[in-house]
Amino acid sequence: MVVGYCVGEISLSELTFISDKMPQVGEYVTVEYDGKKVLGMVESLVRGNDSLNIDLHDVDAIQTIARMGGKDYYIKGKVKLLGDVDDNLRLPRTPALPGTPIKLADKEILDKVFKVKNPLRLGTLVNQEDIVVNVEANPILNRHLAILAMTGAGKSNTVAVLIDQLIGYNVPVFVFDMHGEYKDATFPNGDVNVIQPKINPIYMSFYEIKRLVNIPNNAFVQERHFRQAFNHVKNEIEAGTESKHNFLDAMQNYLEIKSQEEGSDKQIVDVVNKIEDAKEKYNNLFDNNKGNILTSIKIGHVNVLDLSQTDESVAEVLVSHIMRNSLQRRKNAVHGHAKNTLDHPVFYIIEEAHILAPNKRDSTSKHWIQRVAREGRKFGLGLCLVSQSPKTVDHDALSQMNNMIILRLVEPEDQRHVQSASESLSKDLINQLPSLNVGEAIVLGLMSKVPTLVKIDEFKGRRTGGDLDIIGDLAKLNESEKSEIKRQEQESLDLGYDY
């Protein structure tokens, strides 16, 4: 079906068309010229009327013209050209001629575009429910993914849809579950493996322990004492001469002896007090008998680290700890070391990425998220950053996400930040973001041959964290209270009491 004709100056990547029909933004079209068939996507549309142009200021005249010829409007649209259908979607070398007709793309062409080797089904085209949208799994696993949208737009649903298919491919998925949304979820394709947030301090870095013990960055003297104690205990453990204490006790012990020798140095006493506080506060976090936390990961499972009961500083330390150890252990594995290796790839999902990789603030977790974002590809470590506040997610990390699923996003500052992190997100597509419905997304990047407007499937398993039916729940509560009162009254009557 012809939807319009090319007009004006036509470039290799874009064309303008005029039509008397109304195609839809996001719809795919083809333009045939010079023996080629070029696929494109309608990116923007306007409607105008030559007799009712912007210079007309007389309301009476406007009304008269509108009555006489109000239907003489035209539709002007912009198409982003995506490439030659028969040449692997490479962009053509010559532009189309003005006057060339533009047709809606055939189903066969679109089915071919969304046919990939290792498909992950995301959903269907927003404008054409009969076209299934598959994306390729590999580029997501090694070139990362960002899922961005305002709250309630369908990020976690998208995450669940993806997780289920990834475990179907036996991928070990690891979720940092900030709100306890995934630990009780059920996935049709595999099981959840809940990992307790516990670390053996011997696997922690100086900076991780320092963050928990709360030694401020500008407290140089305290940091020096703390570092001496840390190095001392690490060395003793490695030499096998420290076994009677746990890590923090051993540090405390070392500093107490030192303080006595140096006549109760105030700075040392301060550090000792902070260690005591940390031991009490993070009693549940430290586990001196535990192996490295990465050994708990199971292949083909949704490994869920439950962070719903921990505070932000602990979440930060755990993320940093796991990212750092994964990178080091994957490097060891790739370089053929015998010990301290992680012998399989992992796909990490970080919800609330704006907290764990904030844009304006430094944090230990951000540092290691950036490292995995940059280097993970070579070692089979993939990242999925999920956030409802894209503008506060670290720009560096975001620009390493070579795949994006962007659902409804209204805030201009968020839109600008996302656009500056992704070269393939055009201004016209950005303009579509506020008008998306729940579950509708713009999908971009290496995982897809073309940018796509997708209606994401609804997750088939069970998860918590969706919208609550508050009115319905309260009504049920009320009902059950009423029936309980009735039951009690009946029981009293049966027993012979009368009110």
Applying CB under 5 A, the residues found at the interface with Mg ion are 155-156
3 state SS of 102: strand
Single out the residue of 202, 438, 446, 450 in contact with ligand ATP (rule: CB under 6 A): 438
Q: Which residues of 136-157 are buried (b: 16+ CB within 10 A; e: fewer)?
A: bbebbbbbbbbbbbbeebbbbb
Say how far apart CA 346 and CA 326 lie, in whole Å.
Answer: 9
Single out the residue of 30, 100, 156, 325 in contact with ligand ATP (rule: CB under 6 A): 156
Say how far apart CA 201 and CA 287 lie, in whole Å.
Answer: 7
Give the interface segment with ligand ATP, choosing from 14-22, 125-133, 151-159, 239-247 (CB under 6 A): 151-159
Parallel, antiparallel, or unpaired for β 381-387 and 346-350? Answer: parallel
Cβ at position 155, least distance to Mg ion in Å: 5
Say how far apart CA 18 and CA 28 lie, in whole Å.
Answer: 16
Parallel, antiparallel, or unpaired for β 381-387 and 145-148? Answer: parallel
**Of 288, 304, 307, residue with least CA distance to 296:** 304
Say how far apart CA 303 and CA 417 lie, in whole Å.
Answer: 31
Any contact of residue 308 with ligand ATP (CB under 6 A)?
no
- Residue 142's binding partner among Mg ion, ligand ATP, none (Cβ under 5 to 8 angstroms by kind) is none
- Position closest to ligand ATP via CB: 439
DSSP conformation class of 91 = P
- Residue 222's binding partner among Mg ion, ligand ATP, none (Cβ under 5 to 8 angstroms by kind) is none
Cβ at position 157, least distance to ligand ATP in Å: 3
Single out the residue of 151, 241, 243, 283 in contact with ligand ATP (rule: CB under 6 A): 151
Single out the residue of 26, 154, 345, 358 in contact with ligand ATP (rule: CB under 6 A): 154
The answer to whether the CB of 372 falls within 8 A of the CB of 141 is no
152 or 412, CB closer to ligand ATP? 152
Give the interface segment with ligand ATP, choosing from 29-37, 150-158, 229-237, 241-249 (CB under 6 A): 150-158
Cβ at position 163, least distance to ligand ATP in Å: 12
The torsion of the CA quartet 397, 398, 404, 405, rounded to 10 degrees, works out to 110
Any contact of residue 461 with ligand ATP (CB under 6 A)?
no
Say how far apart CA 398 and CA 401 lie, in whole Å.
Answer: 5
- Residue 456's binding partner among ligand ATP, Mg ion, none (Cβ under 5 to 8 angstroms by kind) is ligand ATP
Contact residues for ligand ATP (CB under 6 A)? 149, 151-157, 388, 438-439, 456, 458, 465-467
